[in-house]
A = this chain, B = another copy of it.
Amino acid sequence: MSPKITVELLRQLRQAMKNSKYITEPIQAYIVPSGDAHQSEYIAPCDCRREFICGFNGSAGTAIVTEQHAALWTDGRYFLQASQQMDTNWTLMKMGLKETPSQEDWLISVLPENSRVGVDPWIIAADQWKNMWKALSGAGHSLVAVQDNLIDAIWEDRPPRPSTKLIALGLKYTGLTWQDKVTALRGKMAERRISWFVVTALDEIAWLFNLRGSDIQYNPVFFAYAIIGISSIKLFVDSKRLLEPAVREHLELDSPSKPDLTVHCFPYESVYTELQAVCAALAPKEKIWICDKASCALTQVIPKAHRSAIPYTPLCLAKAVKNPTEIQGMKMAHIKDAVALCELFAWLEKEIPKGTVTEISVADKAEELRSQQKDFVGLSFPTISSVGPNGAIIHYRPLPETNRTLSLNEVYLIDSGAQYLDGTTDVTRTMHFGTPSDYEKECFTYVLKGHIAVSAAVFPSGTKGHLLDSFARASLWDAGLDYLHGTGHGVGCFLNVHEGPCGISYKTFADEPLEAGMIVSDEPGYYEDGSFGIRLENVVLVIPAKTKYNYRNRGSLTFEPLTLVPIQLKMINTELLTQKERDWVNDYHRKCRETIGAELERQGRKVALDWLIRETEPIV
């Protein structure tokens, strides 16, 4: 990796910071956040502005350029990568280290008095703007919304914003028409006396309208905004995309059935002026919902007295609780996914001894096998395929220069998933194709015990996921071990593989309670720097649990694994398992054998079936 040369770019940006074409008065610093105008986790190439200016292309990081300095803040996952990708014009600010100043503190320490700090209000979230604004004004500076993005201004050949073909999903996949979803949303709005709701998250818009796109790699979403009123629907999307007859019919654009379910379409860019018009027509006590993570630009259009900023929108909550059709779809997607993986693992057993299989070739093979399955759309995230020491790099992604060959001597970890029309998958398995060491087995078994502890946990309705996080760690902790990431994230249904508002992590306290129908991952791990990585990940469905008693009639919940891929028996030290844990493994493998076996049979995949049967033998 050689660093990006940024001398000239920085010179141009610093000129733009003084250019009256963009701003009335010069600014002394310019902040370049990581995200897009929708605060997406994955972003389109046209939105990779921070990468463009500094060269660092990790998923998290903020660049700040002043007249004298240029600095980038990122977290521990990316210290090495950022230091390799950036040239000496940039200072790396290692977040999480005591000596590293916050962006605010650093700005205050380097800026001359009464400085003006600029930022594009479309790509900074309202809550972040507020914090930055407070800190700067407390120190005598000001934060300025620069309407023209200064990176775009100097970015020649900036890719255009994608405008891919939209797919309309029928009831067979969604379980609810978009009209039903709008009506349910309006019910929630009426309950809280809300007149309008501004939808800015791309997955919420896709879910609400039962539409999908492919504007952002891995995430089947499309660039759009929506403003939903009690009796009106405004959709902001590139008008070319609405020429498709299937989409027109789906949205009933040409023959709306009801006036209050008529979709009024506007160009993507006109959301600002339309929202202004909505606000101008508000009665005194009317309120508008907007997510507190929405862009500062849109948030500030709504006068404070009319604004109701919420941490999780009703769509985010509704989307998280899957309906029976979605659950059925997720189950089907996971069966197909397991078929592909059984085939992959059987193939690996034969191919690895030849010495020609690499991290990249396995990832390619996995994609090929998945693509043979019905309704396959694409991957749900970049495959993590890692051998030996590479497995210890939690966010590893094989590149030609790091690509390692699989062997009979090293642990192999593969974390992968796909988008199917009926659901999204995400599964991690860790395997050894020779003879694992006792230590590798011991660590694997602790991780397995943690995985089971979460998967088999019974807990009261209303429990938040973060309360389950320690269950995944207890066995590792007993041995003095741990892993430095959360245990689980919400998973969308043919949508983003990471979604809120629930999860299982020690890091957050603001997650929403788990409810039957929610789907999360269960993925504890253990990583030994320079040696190996272990992670065991299933996607699990929250279901009601039957318990002996029922305290205060609250009801209890537990998890049902949707992922049905064998856990390698060779890696387990069965002596470390309790009888309950052995029963769990055998029960899980019985289910894998029954469900996936039947599908392998149907698809005539004999080699994979044999592999599956061997790998699901009961343990004692």
Q: List A residues at the B interface (Cβ < 8 Å).
A: 457-460, 467-471, 474, 477-482, 506, 509, 547-552, 554, 556, 578
CB distance from A99 to the nearest CB of B (A): 13
- Considering the complex of A and B, which 6 residue pairs feature the smallest CB-CB distances, nearest first? A480-B547, A509-B509, A480-B549, A481-B551, A467-B470, A480-B550
CB distance from A585 to the nearest CB of B (A): 18
CB distance from A131 to the nearest CB of B (A): 16
CB distance from A465 to the nearest CB of B (A): 11
- With a cutoff of 8 Å between Cβ atoms, the chain B residues found around residue A481 in the complex are 549, 551
Q: State in angstroms the CA–CA spacing of A317 and B548 once bound together.
A: 43
**Residue among A458, A459, A549, A578 facing the most chain B CB atoms (10 A cut-off):** A549
Check B477 against A459 for contact (C-beta < 8 Å): yes
Instruction: Out of B459, B506, B556, name the residue touching A467 (CB < 8 Å).
Output: B506
Check B460 against A551 for contact (C-beta < 8 Å): no
- With a cutoff of 8 Å between Cβ atoms, the chain B residues found around residue A469 in the complex are 467
Check A478 against B458 for contact (C-beta < 8 Å): yes
Check A548 against B480 for contact (C-beta < 8 Å): yes
Stoichiometry, copies per complex: 2
Check A477 against B458 for contact (C-beta < 8 Å): yes
Q: State in angstroms the CA–CA spacing of A294 and B471 once bound together.
A: 37
Complex: chain B residue closest to A478, CB-CB: B458
23 chain-A/chain-B pairs, Cβ below 8 angstroms: A457-B477, A458-B477, A458-B480, A460-B477, A460-B482, A467-B469, A467-B470, A468-B470, A470-B470, A471-B474, A477-B556, A478-B547, A479-B547, A479-B548, A480-B548, A480-B550, A480-B551, A480-B556, A481-B551, A482-B551, A482-B552, A482-B554, A578-B578
Instruction: Out of B457, B480, B549, name the residue touching A479 (CB < 8 Å).
Output: B549
CB distance from A551 to the nearest CB of B (A): 5
Complex: chain B residue closest to A550, CB-CB: B480
Complex: chain B residue closest to A529, CB-CB: B552
Q: State in angstroms the CA–CA spacing of A509 and B469 once bound together.
A: 14
- With a cutoff of 8 Å between Cβ atoms, the chain B residues found around residue A474 in the complex are 457, 471
Q: State in angstroms the CA–CA spacing of A460 and B473 once bound together.
A: 10
CB distance from A376 to the nearest CB of B (A): 39
Q: State in angstroms the CA–CA spacing of A556 and B548 once bound together.
A: 36
Q: State in angstroms the CA–CA spacing of A47 and B550 once bound together.
A: 42
Q: State in angstroms the CA–CA spacing of A58 and B271 once bound together.
A: 53
- With a cutoff of 8 Å between Cβ atoms, the chain B residues found around residue A506 in the complex are 467
Q: State in angstroms the CA–CA spacing of A474 and B480 once bound together.
A: 22
Q: State in angstroms the CA–CA spacing of A548 and B460 once bound together.
A: 34
Q: State in angstroms the CA–CA spacing of A554 and B480 once bound together.
A: 9
Q: State in angstroms the CA–CA spacing of A550 and B480 once bound together.
A: 5
Q: State in angstroms the CA–CA spacing of A469 and B467 once bound together.
A: 8
- With a cutoff of 8 Å between Cβ atoms, the chain B residues found around residue A470 in the complex are 459, 467-468, 470-471
Q: State in angstroms the CA–CA spacing of A474 and B459 once bound together.
A: 8
**Residue among A477, A550, A578 facing the most chain B CB atoms (10 A cut-off):** A477
Q: State in angstroms the CA–CA spacing of A506 and B552 once bound together.
A: 18
CB distance from A473 to the nearest CB of B (A): 8
CB distance from A77 to the nearest CB of B (A): 15
Complex: chain B residue closest to A453, CB-CB: B474
Q: State in angstroms the CA–CA spacing of A554 and B477 once bound together.
A: 11
- With a cutoff of 8 Å between Cβ atoms, the chain B residues found around residue A556 in the complex are 477, 480
- With a cutoff of 8 Å between Cβ atoms, the chain B residues found around residue A548 in the complex are 479-480
Q: State in angstroms the CA–CA spacing of A457 and B471 once bound together.
A: 11
Q: State in angstroms the CA–CA spacing of A556 and B468 once bound together.
A: 20
Q: State in angstroms the CA–CA spacing of A386 and B547 once bound together.
A: 29
Q: State in angstroms the CA–CA spacing of A548 and B478 once bound together.
A: 8
CB distance from A502 to the nearest CB of B (A): 16
CB distance from A140 to the nearest CB of B (A): 11
CB distance from A506 to the nearest CB of B (A): 6
CB distance from A367 to the nearest CB of B (A): 34
- With a cutoff of 8 Å between Cβ atoms, the chain B residues found around residue A471 in the complex are 470, 474
CB distance from A474 to the nearest CB of B (A): 7
- Besides A478-B547, A480-B549, A481-B551, 20 other CB < 8 A contacts? A457-B477, A458-B478, A458-B480, A459-B470, A459-B477, A460-B477, A460-B482, A467-B470, A468-B470, A470-B471, A471-B474, A479-B548, A479-B549, A480-B548, A480-B550, A480-B551, A480-B556, A481-B549, A482-B551, A482-B554
- With a cutoff of 8 Å between Cβ atoms, the chain B residues found around residue A459 in the complex are 470, 477
- With a cutoff of 8 Å between Cβ atoms, the chain B residues found around residue A467 in the complex are 469-470, 506
- With a cutoff of 8 Å between Cβ atoms, the chain B residues found around residue A478 in the complex are 458, 547
Complex: chain B residue closest to A580, CB-CB: B578
- With a cutoff of 8 Å between Cβ atoms, the chain B residues found around residue A477 in the complex are 457-460, 556
CB distance from A619 to the nearest CB of B (A): 20
